[in-house]
Structure 1
Amino acid sequence: MTQHAPQSPHAASALRVAFFSDSLPERNGTGAYYHDLIASLAPRVAACRIFQPMRERRFNAATIPLPGDTTQEFAVPAPFRIRDAIADLRPHVTVSVTPGPFGQLGKRMALRHPSGFISAYHTDFAALADLYWGPIRRRLSNRVIDRLNQRLFRNSTTVAVNNSELVPAVQR
């Protein structure tokens, strides 16, 4: 059974939204932006929740530092805990805001628990890798990140882009 977002003009108040982000809460621009957005949406929608790495629960065995900020790493989500939370939330819309493990899990949850799926493309990770990493690591990371982004874009009803210079990457 596919869930659809309510269609009436007052339907926003019945909407349930799940966000998935690989950013630590309020740690960088992305983390802060989505926390501000959720705070703004919360009084206007039925439910709104973000799934992201938690500061107090870090996975340290296999992490990859983010380009430009070695204090942040890609973290592995707890899929069973998140699956149960998504089953309780029953979102009409799922938004993946980063291409890492949490963003990919958001896509999988949107497909498994049918909801509209939006991906947000706001960070040119390839450009960051070009600035901060050497040629081998840069090429490898750019390929991986590009493929992860393309997987999100293919499954998205909409791709939100906040910078016109990023549009060609979405249209590939």
Structure 2
Amino acid sequence: MITDKLRLLFVVDAICGRNGVGTYFQDLVAHLEGHEKIARVELVAPGIEAPHPCQGASIPMPGDATQRLYLPRMRALTQLALAMKPHVIIVPGPGFFSLAGYWIGKKLGIPVCVTHQSDYRAMVSLYWHPLLAGPVGSLLQLLNIRMFRGSSSVITISQSMVEHARGIGAINPRLVPTPVAHSFVYHPVTAIRRKIQRVMFVGRLAAEKNIGRFLELAEQRPDLVFEIVGDGPQRRLVSQKAAELPNLIFTGWLSRDQVLQHLNDNDLLILPSSVEAFGTVALEAMARQRLVLTTLACGINQWPALARGLFTLSPEETLSSALQRIEALPYWERQSIAEHARNAACRLNGDAIQSWLNVLEHTALQQRYLPRPARSATFALLRRFATE
């Protein structure tokens, strides 16, 4: 039985604040720090401005020159695991950091919790040639299956991801809500304008986000101001369009605090993604009491309490017709939807933290059922190397 407060080690490949996965764990760890049930929580993830001590060399990410894949420093990561003796190691997989954390957990006999937040096959198919995307997607799926079967728990963020995880081998994936950063929940909010004047997109400028549809809408509605916040492989396309359209502002990548302020300044967030496991920025906009329009592909629509505070693009609708539908609503109804969105986002945030704690406490108890760590010559050498 675990009687101590929990010690948790998160090992994540995504850069904090740079995409949905990085944002997710940054916010989650911030909520867990100082919690009465937590003794210590560490987030090991690569950083750009402030590199993590466990961060090693990097290589360009295939298909996206704006991002890099970082390699972990195994000695530093092993030293950290040996020093803090975590009850649970949490990894999203597969990736270099995640696989390293998973391997260390298995060798030390520490329960591992794997999160499933991306359909890697679908993502790879958007960026790579089919002859290469097929084998790479299959390899990533095989690694995912191996991690599912070797973990003590699996967490997902939407019902469709639960079904996907089951479909590729997870025995009992747990559905857990997505947290929201403290500042998005607790900073004072303002009412939306009586008429929609400013429309916003926040996210990676990548194929799965369908940014082209947002650009078309900006061209069709010169009476409104459109803003794009983010970076990615389609940056040049967005920059060119911003130079052509006087009503389109391209801000580039912003810090989380800056994103909060820009959400406050806009009336409607649009997320036109074709692949989106959840859509954290939509939840953030809801927490700021802003109107949100998403596609059915966004997993956030699968949470009934949140769906009532969202506008959803139907398959036969264009963004222009959906925007007109929202504009046609009386102001009091739009304001009521925005208020419901904020209340639902705040409630879900509390549920997310409690759900994570429940899963992690249960996962920590699984240590008694794990086989004793194998006497691996490789790990014995690494352990000796790490402690010298």
TM-score category (smaller protein)? 0.7 to 0.9
Task: Report the equivalent of 1:38.
Answer: 29
The Cα shift of 1:163 comes to: 2.4
Q: Is the 8 A contact 1:16 1:93 kept in 2?
A: yes
Larger CA deviation: 139-148 vs 99-108: 139-148
Aligned residue number for residue 95 of structure 1:
90
- The amino acid across from 1:40 in the alignment is H
Instruction: Name the residue aligned to 2:46.
Output: 53
Residue 168 of structure 2 corresponds to which residue in structure 1?
Answer: 169
Measured after TM superposition, the shift of residue 121 of structure 1 is: 0.5
Q: Distance in 2 between matches of 1:76 and 1:64?
A: 11
Q: Structure 1 residues 140 and 70, CA, compared in 2 at 3 Å: closer, same or farther?
A: farther
SS at match of 2:109: coil
Structure 2 stretches lacking a partner, 5+ long: 172-388
Name 1:82's counterpart in structure 2: 77
AA matched with 1:33: Y
Point out which structure has higher relative CO (alpha carbons under 8 A, 6+ apart): 1
Distance in 2 separating the partners of 1:98 and 1:161: 12
What is the alpha-carbon distance in structure 2 between the residues aligned to residue 138 and residue 171 of structure 1?
23
- In the comparison of the two structures, how many residue pairs are matched? 160
**Helix, strand or coil: the match of 1:75?**
strand
Residue 145 of structure 1, CA deviation: 0.8
Match of 2:19 in 1: 28
1:155 alignment counterpart: 150
State the identity %.
Answer: 24
State the superposition RMSD in angstroms.
2.0
Note the C-alpha offset of 1:152.
1.1
Which AA in structure 2 matches 1:93?
A: V
- Please state how far the C-alpha of 1:66 moved relative to its aligned partner: 5.3
Following superposition of structure 1 onto structure 2, how do residues 6-21 of structure 1 map, counting pairs within 5 Å? 6=2, 14-21=5-12
Any idea what the Cα deviations from partners look like across 1:138-167, whole Å, max 9, x if unmatched?
112102211221121111111111222223
Runs of 4 or more off by more than 4 Å in structure 1? none
Q: For residue 81 of structure 2, what is the amino acid of its counterpart?
A: I
- Structure 1 stretches lacking a partner, 5+ long: none
Which amino acid is the alignment partner of residue 61 of structure 2?
Answer: P
Task: Determine helix, strand or coil for the equivalent of 1:95.
Answer: strand
Task: Measure, in 2, the Cα distance between the counterparts of 1:153 and 1:116.
Answer: 12
- Using the size of structure 2 for normalisation, the TM-score is 0.39
- Asked if structure 2 preserves the Cα contact closer than 8 Å seen for 1:90 and 1:113, the reply is no
